[in-house]
Structure 1
Amino acid sequence: MARPLDHQKRADLLAGVVAYIAGHGLAALSLRPLAAELGTSSRMLIYYFGTKEELLVQALATQRPDLTALFVDVVEPEALCDRLVGFFDLNSEGAEADSVRVLLQVLGAACAPDSPYQDYANAAIATFVTELAAALRRTGLAEDPEVVATLLVSALRGIIQDRMITGDRERTTRAARTLIAAVLPTRPR
């Protein structure tokens, strides 16, 4: 008889996966070193998660920001701009930076044909675009909210990636703020 899953152990393992990948990278991810770092065995990781890819997807799911909560109360253009600036800051160097570093690697891997990360990547992008488009509709800042949301999501992701690669905080901060102000002008120019 198979023993039941230890849900606390599973949660503890997921908590360590994102930090490990942020520090070691996704490209060379191997279960044995990951398991050793997490204080378990590769056999136990397979027992809990099935595959290496499923382990990563589940770990990222625990890190996904609540985008509905981020934008649900936004009805004023200035508030939307402030939320996007705050989101950029939090995700480029704040508390969420490790999760975003791993997410960027997963999004890159999802570009490969038959990627095991394709569904996760599609859902992550669609959720952000959908929630931002809803906020854009409420604020009246965009005639085509889905297109503007796509532009902002994709461009901010690129600027965050630029910062993580180059380490240039000043330039990328200016770029993010310039993008938000240009795409979402809250005052007449």
Structure 2
Amino acid sequence: MTSENGGQTDGRTLRFQHRRPEILGALTEYILEHGVGDLSLRPAADAIGVTHTTLLRHFGSKEGLLLEVLEEIRVDFIARIAPESSRVEVTDLGTLLRKQWRALTTDRELRQFRLLFELTAQTRASRPNDGRRRVHDAVSRDFTAAVRNLLTDHLAISAARAETLAILVVAQYRGLVVDLLLTGDRRRTDVAIDEFIDMLVRASRESSAL
């Protein structure tokens, strides 16, 4: 069978193309549970009930599969944190940041953070054009942008100040998520984020009063 670009398309690929989103979703769950360090196609295929050949047919290679899963996670992660405040009118900086912290520390998001931290460890020494490095950098960029957009959409601050605050807030989020993943002590991290937010709010008010 000939594809639109003139190449040959495997008939089996077309026949099972409708299963691709289902397979990608199952693989995403598998990788969120098992990480990427020891990822192997055959165990992954067995776990989600397909064959090794099916995965290769849909994704081309282990790296191709992994990049699609990471992109799926990136899109889901940003979509879940970005619209949180757009559904509720919030004008107080402290309320806004506490709502976002709660959104970031659900069990689902913590699994995604764990995988993204693993990806960070793998990509620091890689070339900038490597697929994993590109996904990692996109997550970092989009995470900061999501926080910045929340600030500019709901607070009367300049874009430059929102960018600076977003970098600071994201750094605190990441650090406290690491602490939460290591200790499992949610009360400890909630108290710490509350203290940070209170400090930030006080500094913001003092700056506005000058």
TM-score over 0.5 (shorter chain): yes
From 84, 87, 111, the counterpart of 1:70:
84
From 96, 104, 107, the counterpart of 2:117:
104
Instruction: Supply the AA of the counterpart residue of 1:13.
Output: I
* Partners of 2:84 and 2:99 within 8 A in 1: no
* Partners of 2:78 and 2:146 within 8 A in 1: no
- Is 1:87 aligned to 2:100, yes or no? yes
- Is 1:157 aligned to 2:174, yes or no? yes
Instruction: Supply the AA of the counterpart residue of 2:166.
Output: A
From 34, 40, 45, the counterpart of 1:24:
34
- Specify the alignment match of 2:138 in structure 1: 123
Q: 1:180 to 1:37 in 2, by over 3 A?
A: same
* Partners of 1:16 and 1:38 within 8 A in 2: yes
Secondary structure, counterpart of 1:152 in structure 2 = helix
Q: 1:5 to 1:164 in 2, by over 3 A?
A: farther
Question: What is the CA RMSD across the aligned residues, in angstroms?
Answer: 2.8
- Specify the alignment match of 1:10 in structure 2: 20
- Is 1:47 aligned to 2:62, yes or no? no
Larger radius of gyration: 2
* Partners of 1:81 and 1:184 within 8 A in 2: yes
TM-score normalised to structure 1 length: 0.81
CA–CA distance in structure 1, aligned partners of residues 100 and 65 of structure 2: 26
Q: 1:13 to 1:99 in 2, by over 3 A?
A: farther
Q: 1:129 to 1:71 in 2, by over 3 A?
A: farther
- Specify the alignment match of 1:136 in structure 2: 151
**Richer in helix (by share):** 2
* Partners of 2:77 and 2:109 within 8 A in 1: no
Q: 1:141 to 1:186 in 2, by over 3 A?
A: farther
* Partners of 1:32 and 1:41 within 8 A in 2: yes
Cα deviation for residue 147 of structure 1 reads 1.8
TM-score normalised to structure 2 length: 0.74
Q: Percent identity?
A: 25
* Partners of 1:84 and 1:180 within 8 A in 2: yes
Secondary structure, counterpart of 2:125 in structure 1 = coil
Q: Which is bigger in relative contact order (C-alpha 8 A, separation at least 6)? A: 1
CA–CA distance in structure 2, aligned partners of residues 35 and 100 of structure 1: 24
CA–CA distance in structure 2, aligned partners of residues 51 and 71 of structure 1: 39
Gaps in structure 1 of 5+ consecutive residues: none
TM-superposition CA deviations, 1:100-124 (whole Å, max 9, x none): 3222222332223225311111111
Q: 1:23 to 1:134 in 2, by over 3 A?
A: closer
* Partners of 2:84 and 2:103 within 8 A in 1: no
